[in-house]
Each structure stands twice: as structure tokens, then as C-alpha cells.
Amino acid sequence: MNFIQNDLVTKLQTNERYPLTDEHPHEECGILGICAPGEDVSRLAYFGLYALQHRGQEAAGIAVSDGQKLDMYKDVGLVSRVFNPSNLADLNGFLGIGHVRYSTFGSSMISNVQPFMIDTRFGTIALGHNGNLVNAGKLRRELMENGIGFSSTSDTEVMTMMLAGADGEDWFEHIRSCMRKWQGAYCLVILTRESIYAVRDPWGFRPLSTGKLPGKGHAVASESGALRTLGCTAIREVQPGEILRLSGEDLTIRQGIPPAEPAALCIFENVYFSRPDSNWDGMNVHQIRQRLGEQLARETRLTADEVIPVPDSSIPAAIGYARASGIPYNDGFIKNRYIGRTFIEPTDSLRKLGVALKFNVINENVEGKRIILIDDSLVRGNTTGALVGLLKEGGAREVHVCITCPPIRHPCFMGVDMGTYEELLAHNMSEEQIRDMIGADSLYYLSLDGLLKAAGRPTGYCTACYTGNYPIDINGALSKTRFEGSRVSNCG
């Protein structure tokens, strides 16, 4: 093994870097906008963000307007920890935007928590962003050359500052002029004193939907499942390049810039990110994941006694695999869904147990069995290897690992934290080496053709993490913390 492979094995054995989390690519962010005349929008936003919590667990924020002034509260932590009846009561208004964050650009610090709020010559605005600009460095330098300072290391602040100085007679024109300069993935909610604007990039990287609230007004959210939580009807996806305005009872839709051809929807929304009850690209995510499992069964044709998922995101795929293969589905793991949310740090001895703190094996279900273990991705290998070990300790005779997507060999520069080339197992090791490293009896990945077939169409998705073929120029797109070194001087 080379140095990188030895380093990866060490991480697998000690779980030092990812002790209590899984190895999946981390979610981007979740955004929400609500225009609800006569309603207490902060409480609606709270429950809407709860429905988007899976997209970001590092920080949360809500900004509101009562038609006269904007107020905001944000902090690091889960939605349930950031907000309480007292601080929600201080957020008075019928217009509101919300954000849950995972740091895809800029590290986890309070100055990077969204929404961002600033005063502009057009009035005060607040902005929440899901995605990642690949040309943020160039745009930031141009702003600094014009005397603009920054208080954070996030590309979202770059977008906010650009909007503050944009050309045009109204916010539709301000936004449109900036869209012509932004390169990369962005879904935005922008709060002004009197309206909310929602924006989706022309490639359509990230999902965004809008719907009509049960009373007056409309809402927009990263996923349709959050809109249904709020009771929305007439839900439609915001199309690539569109700008929406939510004002009073009205919803105005304009094409900001033309949609890109072909589109570049993130295929990983189907594989892992989106909630199973959400619709993405006109299809239900749960149904797509079942088809991923069915397709994987057709490609692998394994003989085994049971199909077991890694809970929870792989359950639909395991159901599909079992249905297509005729091999019985069963539960092999019980997941402790709260271990990652405790304030109490584990002792060193507990920390070394790693995923054993998060998963327990049902020994009676696996003892003496040939197991097909279904998971949706294999990125760094630490969790998968530990799960295979737990199954074998529980008495499993064989463990065959089946992944519902192709090997992830390339980083994402469009807002998903998949790691660097050095961290990506499939970039540095052969499939046989990975199989031996995780201790599986065999290892299978779904083919790219099979993935696209299950997703419903052969083109229109971004598959760069598998192929290295990025839909836009990524020159200059570096690490998510590349602005960190200049932060002090920017703040004065």
C-alpha cells in the first residue's frame, strides 16, 4: 500500500477524524421562504426548517420582516437548540426566510451562519444560500478591489455584497444582473422589507420548490417534503434560471436567465440527500431509490440469505433489491439516532468504538447467514468497514457489500462535501483493495448506466463525482475554507 492507503487504513481502525458520524457525503444546506399575510411566520419557519434538518446540522437561522423592518436570529446548532419560544416571539413578521447549514464553503464558525443581513441603498436585505460558487474567489477579489470588506469566509456573503451594489431598477433586475456573473450551484431566498425572492441557478444543481399555503400566501423550500409539512398545495419545482417573488397573496415568476443546456441536476439528491417523501425532477425520491436497488440486484445477481440495509437512507434501495432478487429483506442494525446530538463528549475508550456507538447488530437476524449489505455510498471506508466487522462479530457467515451508486472518485465543487482526492477511497485504491480493506467477502457498485436508468433519464444530471466530467469550468474552485487565511485582514 502507498502512503495514502496506509493513512486511510489508520482512519478506518481508529475513527479519529469521523468518530461519531457516518462516512456519507455531507448534505449541502436547506433554505426556506414563507410569505403568509396574517400569520406568525417565525413559527411556520421553525417547523419548515425542522423538515429540512437533514440537509444541515451545524447551524440554523431565521430572518423576518413585518413590512417595515427586518429582524433575525441565528446560531450554531440544531434547529431545536437554536430556537425557543422566547427568541421566536421576538421575530415578528409575515415574511420570513430560514436556513440550515452544513459548511460546504467556509468553516463552521458563527460569522458564517446564515442568513446574511446587510443594509443596502435599496433597503435592508437578508439572504440564505444553498450551493457553492466556483468563481467566488474571483468575485471576492473584485469586490475587495472596490473597497468592499468581509466579515465571514463564506461565498454567500460575496453574493449578498454583489446584490447590494447590483444594477437595475428593481430586485428582479438586481438579481438578474448578478446571475449573469455567478458560476456554480445556487438556490437563494432573499428577504426584503416587502417581499421574498427565490432564485435557482440555470443548471438546476440543487432542488427548489414552491407551493400555496393553506391560508394566504406561498412558501418556497429546498424540498417539497418541507412544503407539505406546512400544508402547501399546488407544489411545483422552481425551474432552472427562474426568479420568484412572494408578495402578499401573489406569486410572480420570471425567467432570470436562460436555463443551461443540458441541465446538471445533482444525481446524489436521488441517491442520498433528499428526504424519501420529496419529489425531485418530477419523480418521488423513495421510488427512485427502490429502483436503484432493483437495478443493483439485476447487475449483481448474488446468492445470499438476507438483504440488510444500512439505516436509514438505504432502506428503500434494500426493499427494491430484495423485491428484484427474491432474497428476503430483514433488519440487521438498530440505529441510535441521538448519539450525534449529545452535548456530552464520549470517553476515549467509547470514542474508539466509533460506529458501534451508533449501530447495534441484531445478532439473531444475522447469525450464520450470508448477508447482502446495501448502502448508498462508500466514500472514506471507515463506517462501512466497521459495519461489516459488526455483522461478522454478530455471527454473519458472509457479508457482500452492494453500493447503489458508482465509485466516488472525484470531489464535488457544487456544494457537496465529499472530501478531497486524498480522502476519496475509490480515487486511491482499486475495488479489490477496498473490498479487502473493509473486510467484505465481495464489493459491488451500481453502474453509471444503471444509476441513470433508475433515475429516469440518461442525461440532464451532474455525475462529476463519478466521472470527473464537470458541467462547468471548475478552474479556481478550491477547498471550502480557502478564504480563511484572509479573514482577519478583511475584518480589520
Q: Could you list the active site residues?
A: 29
Would you say 331 and 316 are in contact if contact means Cβ atoms under 8 Å apart? Answer: no
CA distance 424 to 26: 13
C-alpha cell at 307: 438483504
For 234-290, give the secondary structure using H, E and C. EEEECCCCEEEEEECCEEEEEECCCCCCCCCEECHHHHHHCCCCCEECCEEHHHHHH
Would you say 91 and 62 are in contact if contact means Cβ atoms under 8 Å apart? Answer: yes
Report which residue type is found at 72: M
Of the candidates 377, 458, 404, 370, the one whose C-alpha atom is nearest the C-alpha of residue 295 is 404
Radius of gyration of the chain (CA): 23
Would you say 41 and 96 are in contact if contact means Cβ atoms under 8 Å apart? Answer: yes
Of the candidates 287, 312, 292, the one whose C-alpha atom is nearest the C-alpha of residue 402 is 292
CA distance 270 to 468: 19
Residue that is written with C-alpha cell 444503471 in the block: 450
Report which residue type is found at 442: S
Residues 6+ away with beta carbon under 8 Å from 480: 103, 104, 105, 106, 107, 132, 417
Residues 6+ away with beta carbon under 8 Å from 120: 163, 164, 165
**DSSP letters spanning 113-141:** -S-EEEEETTEEEEEEEEEEETTHHHHHH
CA atoms within 13 A on the CB side of 307: 28
Under DSSP, the state recorded for 26 is B
**DSSP letters spanning 401-448:** EEESS----S--SSS-B---TTT-HHHHS-HHHHHHHHT-SEEEE--H
CA atoms within 13 A on the CB side of 3: 1
**Cβ burial 321-331 (10 Å sphere, 16+ → b, else e):** bbebbebebbe
